[in-house]
Amino acid sequence: MSEYVAYLHEVFAHFGTIRSRKMFGGHGIYHQDLMFGLVADDELYLKTDAKNLAEFEALELEPFEYNKDGKIMKMSYRRAPEEIYDDPEIAARWAEIAYAAAVRNKR
């Protein structure tokens, strides 16, 4: 586990217990066995869907993209706002927004 991923446990302490798992060269960030975030190159991306996407777009937070066989693939994750690292309550709010999207996606 990278130092950055370990630090996310502190960032989200007000939200609740999280765990991380290595995947595809990065890490998945989980709460109650649902992935609500992903880390790639020490950048955190949070789960999005139709209900919460506008909040991410309002802050111009970029989507997670990767190159697959020369084609750019976008996933339903957006960069986390920088404010989460300075304020545990803001971090908890954004984690709740992303986790709610993960719950909706599970259904």
Which amino acid, 27? H
Whether 68 shows a pLDDT value over 80: the answer reads yes
pLDDT at 1 (0 to 100): 67
Model pTM?
0.93
Residues 3-106, CATH architecture: 2-Layer Sandwich (3.30)
Q: Where are the alpha helices (DSSP H) in the chain?
A: 3-11, 53-58, 88-106
Q: pLDDT tens digits for 22-57?
A: 988 899 999 999 999 999 999 999 999 999 999 999
Domain residue extents for the chain: 3-106
What is the phi/psi pair of residue 98, to 5°? -70, -40
